[in-house]
Amino acid sequence: MAQKTSIPKGTRDFSSAEMARRNYIFDTIKGVFARFGYSQIETPAMENLGTLLGKYGEEGDKLLYRIQNSGEKAALAPEKGLRYDLTVPFARFVVQHRGELSFPFKRFQIQPVWRADRPQKGRYREFYQCDADVIGSRSQLCELELVQMVEQVFAALDIRVLLKINNRKLLTGLAEICGFPERVVDITVAIDKIDKIGLEAVEAEMMEKGLSADAVAVLRPILLAEGDFASKMELMRGLMNGGSASGIVSQEGLRGLDEIDELFGLISAAGVKLPVELDLSLARGLNYYTGAIFEVKALDWQIGSICGGGRYDNLTGIFGLPDVSGVGISFGADRIYDVLCGLEKYPAGLESGAQLLFANMGATEVHSILPLAAALRSEGISTEVYPESGKLKKQFDYAQSKGIAFISINGENEIAAGTINIKNLSSGEQKSFPATDTEAILEYLRG
């Protein structure tokens, strides 16, 4: 009995058409990474389980795919798991190969990752990540570079986006001046809700979560703040400097403001045209970010963030290399794919097949065109020879379905006359060439 054909839930086959679009995205991103001097690395799909465990929180540990050891010495071999993201394997790579790398080390990596998540629309168990990181420098020029790469990738893809920036040190500062240094998450969530539910509801929620009335009062000026970037920064500098209701000074908060100031200064000096916004409610991946935090939203299509990242000060510490700061960004290829589909922004001709199909009019006829087909291919013309002689209708349908531009039909008569017929399948135009005039044929096919 025949076996049922299916693939595991949450995984996907990619057809030729989908691959053409995916490659367009990957190639665009790769091109930008290369233009900024990032070079590609790859790591194995499997890592020793110890490398992965405990790096993604309790929830993450549960979502790791574990691989059964096989063979005789299975019991002795370390357990293995599938890569859950590209960041932890990258940290492991940096530590393991630190002797061979020149720092600051700028790498990019485009590989699939696996998560045993509940599959749902837009969430897969196997998906690609496209990451660029620079490790070994604390300079805000690294952050600038990532901002510029975001600008160039989305300009090349013709997607209008907004880049939101925040800084973990500033969030820490807010929690410190409230007198609740451990409540960074609650405070960030509260700030995030101010536009939706208003001041009273936000303050009620914070009190419910156990913040004191005094703490809430410290945050009030920020929740109410209006005005431009400069005036907000001035307000926060005053608060961090002991000017809040609590009077607490936060050195960490002040450092955060300095970093934001410096980065926005660099962004302006470099002439970045991408819309960039300071967003105090941005807090993705709080557990390992220690400085800048980035997130990119598409302006013309409703979808979650399509790119994100930030600075981490101690990612390699767990593997024995402390005090190496890095900053990175990750592009969400699957969501970018959906945005480009939704906005119909894929360039024309991505999915086109070969340039030319030689129809098959029988064994003798095929023999006579084989050298020409070979010559055209050596000149870079993508060329097919239909393998079966048979109904021309079927051969035309084949050309149509594959998006082939030209068809060449040469029967007995053409061969006797020493000519080659070529038909343009979109215009219907038909031309005849001396079979020996490869130059003229090339010129015609190249348009």
Footprint of a copy of itself on 16-35 (CB under 8 A): 16, 19-20, 23, 34-35
Q: In this chain, which of 246, 383, 408, 410 binds a copy of itself, going by CB under 8 A?
A: 383
CB of 256 to a copy of itself, least distance (A): 19
Spatial distance between the Cα atoms of 430 and 48, rounded to a whole number of angstroms: 62
Long-range Cβ pairs for the range 264-271 (8 Å, 24+): 264/165, 264/229, 266/140, 266/141, 266/143, 266/144, 267/144, 267/147, 270/144, 270/148
Indicate whether 446 belongs to the interface with a copy of itself (CB under 8 A): no
Residue 251 binds a copy of itself, judged by CB under 8 A: no
For residues 398 and 419, what is the distance between their CA atoms, to the nearest angstrom? 24
The only residue of 142, 165, 298, 315 in contact with a copy of itself, by rule CB under 8 A: 142
Minimum distance from residue 72 beta carbon to a copy of itself (Å): 10
Q: Which is nearer to a copy of itself, 142 or 409 (CB)?
A: 142
Helix, strand or coil for residue 392?
helix
* Near a copy of itself in 276-305, by CB under 8 A: none
Position 436 contacts a copy of itself (CB under 8 A): no
For CA atoms 133, 318, 103, 47, give the dihedral sign. Answer: negative
Residue 123 within binding range of a copy of itself, rule CB under 8 A: no
Place of tokens 């360039």: 347
Q: Are 179 and 186 in contact (CB under 8 A)?
A: no
If the CB atoms of residues 174 and 404 are measured against a copy of itself, the closer one turns out to be 404
Q: Is residue 274 at the binding interface for a copy of itself, with CB under 8 A as the rule?
A: no
Is residue 95 close enough to count as binding a copy of itself by CB under 8 A? yes
Work out which of 277, 304, 347, 367 binds a copy of itself, going by CB under 8 A.
367
User: Least distance from C-beta 105 to a copy of itself, angstroms?
Assistant: 9
Which stretch, 68-76, 207-215, 224-232, 279-287, contacts a copy of itself (CB under 8 A)?
Answer: 68-76
Token digits of residue 353 = 């097949």
Q: Does 269 bind a copy of itself (CB under 8 A)?
A: yes
Taking the complex as a whole, the smallest distance from the CB of residue 79 to a copy of itself amounts, in Å, to 9
H or E element that contains 218: helix 213-224
Residue 92 CB, nearest approach to a copy of itself (Å)? 5
Instruction: Give Cβ neighbours of residue 42 (< 8 Å, ≥ 6 apart).
Output: 109, 111
The reply on whether position 373 binds a copy of itself by CB under 8 A is: yes
CA pseudo-torsion sign 220, 222, 223, 227: positive
Q: Decide: residue 114, CB within 10 A, 0-12 exposed, 13-18 middle, 19+ buried.
A: buried
Exposure string of 366-398, with b = 16+ CB inside 10 Å and e = fewer, is beebeebbeebeeeebebbbbeeeeeeeebbeb
Site track for a copy of itself across 146-175, x = CB under 8 A: --x---x-----------------------
User: Of 59, 68, 226, 416, which one interacts with a copy of itself (CB under 8 A)?
Assistant: 68
Residues 296-355 that bind a copy of itself (CB under 8 A): 317-321, 353-354
Rounded CA-CA distance 44/90 in Å is 11
